[in-house]
Amino acid sequence: MPSDVPSPPSVSILPLEARAVSLEAGGKRLIKDLNFTLEAAKSTIVLGPNGAGKSLLLRLCHGLLKPSAGEIVWRGTRGRDPTPYQAMVFQRPVMLRRSVAANIDYALALRKVPRAQRRNLIEDALHRTGLEHFARHPARVLSIGEQQRLALARAWALTPEVLFLDEPTASLDPNATHVIEQVIAAFDAAGTKIIMTTHDLGQARRLADEIVFLHQGRALEISTADDFFAGPIDASAQAFLRGELLWRTPDP
Amino acid sequence: MTDIGGALGAAFSMIVHFDRDLAEIVGLSLRVSLSAVFLATVIGMPLGAALALFRFPGRAAVVVLLNALMGLPPVVVGLIVYLLLSRTGPFGVMGLLFTPTAMIIAQVLLVVPIVAALTRQVAEDLWAEYEEQLRSLGAGSGQALVALLWDGRFILMTAVLAGFGRASAEVGGVMIVGGNIDHVTRVMTTAIALEVSKGNLALALGLGIVLIVLSTAISLAAYQIKEATLRRHAI
């Protein structure tokens, strides 16, 4: 069904290019000299230990933070504002104090989607995420897993060309994580470019086409997922993959 | 003790016999204070939310000033409005002095700082939670302001209630700009002050009891609406 698939704009805003991007705050350099180009149709997973700067990197790309130096360039915009072509899902879902359906409706209203079209988009998004029975529930009484599904549903309704996800399953149990990953896969199948952070290696293996390995604010390795998991070149990345470093506490 | 017993008797008999003068006084009190609170809400809430949203030079000073104005003495506000509205004042030609409109103006000035300061607090907390998501969705400042007020509306009822409490309890402002004219500008608090000065302590206390019962009833209704909705939305 055509309405099931977000239709990408005829001309993509991608590729996304970071040109010598740095971010400083409180006298510390949190992101150091990032240079990369992210193309369409590949899921990019930003991998790295806690505190590596993964969330900052996503916020810089999405435009929530301004780089202290360098620039983020959407090479395909052709003068268009890139904001409406993007959506972001945060680690802790931000739910408006409204019903489930109204949370999606609000996002669509901000994008100036005519009221007549919103109902179908909302229904489709709720159906995609298995939330159709919750449409009239207040969003904040949902479980965290359901709230994260609603955050994804809200993004789905916006049919973004690029979807940023900041550790979307960090606070979820395996069941909820599985559902979230399925929805992310559906975005990918629909042609949405995924740019997502995680420190979960298994999740990275399941979802990634391309890995950006970040450590202490630097992108130490950027490669295809196959190459990365076959054996990264960078020493920290190798150690991270082996789970040897102190920041990855072994499971008891 | 006899005064208090007499006061209760007076209050009871005023209510039971539905004293026409009392009804008029209560009606005007409610009209003035509710109008003032409504106008102060319309002015104060966007002001408070804007202070939460926007960073500008001198913002801290405005916030401190607003907090200080919450304790503005009603008599002083009354005096200022009196000077503005008196025959020789800048708005004297409008002939508003000693009318209910003048009383509403004085109370609006008293209530705006309360509503704005409390709204700023609520909106700031909410903005801390919403900011990234709303910016991600592409909300402009005006749209964000509306969303903050709408999503904070149940918590913000507290601000409105605080404003109503101040308006209905104050006597200095309405006394000076209203003049406590019988059948024209006499409200509950000015009537109480008058009866006390005449030595009718029982009647004054009776009026006081009616005032307290009224404001308690309004608070209770608002509290129940607020609690029910807060529970429903798990805020």
B9-28: pLDDT as tens digits: 877 787 777 778 888 999 99
**B3 assigned to some structural domain:** no
Q: What is the mean pLDDT of residues B95-102?
A: 94
Q: Give residue ranges of A with CB < 8 Å to any B CB.
A: 59, 62, 64, 83-84, 86-88, 90, 94, 96-98, 106-107, 110-111, 138, 140-141, 158
pLDDT band at A63 (very low <50, low <70, confident <90, very high): very high
Predicted local distance difference test score (pLDDT) of residue A249? 40
pLDDT band at B2 (very low <50, low <70, confident <90, very high): low
- Quote the percentage of chain B above a pLDDT of 90: 69
A71 or B232, greater pLDDT:
A71
A34-45: pLDDT as tens digits: 999 999 989 999
pLDDT band at A162 (very low <50, low <70, confident <90, very high): very high
**B165 assigned to some structural domain:** yes
Predicted local distance difference test score (pLDDT) of residue B1? 52
Q: Is A35 helix (H, G, I), strand (E, B) or coil?
A: strand
Following DSSP, what letter does each residue of chain B receive, concatenated?
-HHHHHHHHHHHHHHHTT-HHHHHHHHHHHHHHHHHHHHHHHHHHHHHHHHHH---TTHHHHHHHHHHHTT--HHHHHHHHHHHHSTTSTTGGG--TTSHHHHHHHHHHHHHHHHHHHHHHHHHHHHHHHHHHHHHTT--HHHHHHHHHHHTHHHHHHHHHHHHHHHHH--HHHHHHH---TTTT--HHHHHHHHHHHT-HHHHHHHHHHHHHHHHHHHHHHHHHHHHHHHHHT-
B58-88: pLDDT as tens digits: 999 999 999 999 999 999 999 999 999 999 9
Q: Do A138 and B233 lie within an 8 Å CB cutoff?
A: yes
Give B-chain residues touching A56 at CB under 8 angstroms. Answer: none
Structural domains in chain B (count): 1
Following DSSP, what letter does each residue of B128-176 receive, concatenated?
HHHHHHHHHTT--HHHHHHHHHHHTHHHHHHHHHHHHHHHHH--HHHHH
**B32 assigned to some structural domain:** no
Predicted local distance difference test score (pLDDT) of residue A10? 64
Give me the residue from A83, A98, A110 closest to B151, CB to CB: A98
Residues B199, B200, B201: CA angle, nearest 5 degrees: 90
Q: Do B136 and A97 lie within an 8 Å CB cutoff?
A: no
Range with lowest mean pLDDT among B27-41, B130-144, B220-234: B220-234
Q: Is the pLDDT of residue A3 over 60?
A: no
A16-34: pLDDT as tens digits: 999 999 999 988 899 999 9
pLDDT band at A245 (very low <50, low <70, confident <90, very high): low
Distances in Å between the Cα of A181 and the Cα atoms of A132, A165, A178, A190, B233 are: 19, 11, 5, 14, 28
A133-156: pLDDT as tens digits: 999 999 999 999 999 999 999 999
Distance (Å) from the alpha carbon of A106 to chain B's nearest alpha carbon: 9
Q: What is the ipTM of this complex?
A: 0.89
Give the CATH number for residue B164: 1.10.3720.10
Per-domain boundaries in chain A: 2-242
Using CA atoms, how far apart are residues A165 and A198, in angstroms rounded to an integer? 9
Q: Do A106 and B137 lie within an 8 Å CB cutoff?
A: yes
The CATH code of domain A2-242 reads 3.40.50.300
**B26 assigned to some structural domain:** no
- Quote the percentage of chain A above a pLDDT of 90: 77
Give A-chain residues touching B133 at CB under 8 angstroms. Answer: 88, 90, 94
- Chain A residue with the nearest C-alpha to that of B128: A94
Using CA atoms, how far apart are residues B1 and A39, in angstroms rounded to an integer? 86
Q: What is the CA radius of gyration of chain A?
A: 18
Q: Do A138 and B232 lie within an 8 Å CB cutoff?
A: yes
Q: What is the mean pLDDT of residues A143-171?
A: 95
Nearest to B207 by CA among B218, B226, B192: B192
B109-165: pLDDT as tens digits: 999 999 999 999 999 999 999 999 999 999 999 999 999 999 998 889 989 999 999
Give A-chain residues touching B143 at CB under 8 angstroms. Answer: 110
pLDDT band at A252 (very low <50, low <70, confident <90, very high): very low
CB A99 within 8 A of CB A133: no
Q: Do B233 and A59 lie within an 8 Å CB cutoff?
A: no
Q: Do A94 and B132 lie within an 8 Å CB cutoff?
A: yes
Q: What is the mean pLDDT of residues B37-50?
A: 97
Q: Is the pLDDT of residue A244 over 90?
A: no
Q: Do A88 and B138 lie within an 8 Å CB cutoff?
A: no
**B30 assigned to some structural domain:** no
- State the residue range of the domain holding B105: 38-187+213-233
**B6 assigned to some structural domain:** no
B40 or A199, greater pLDDT:
B40
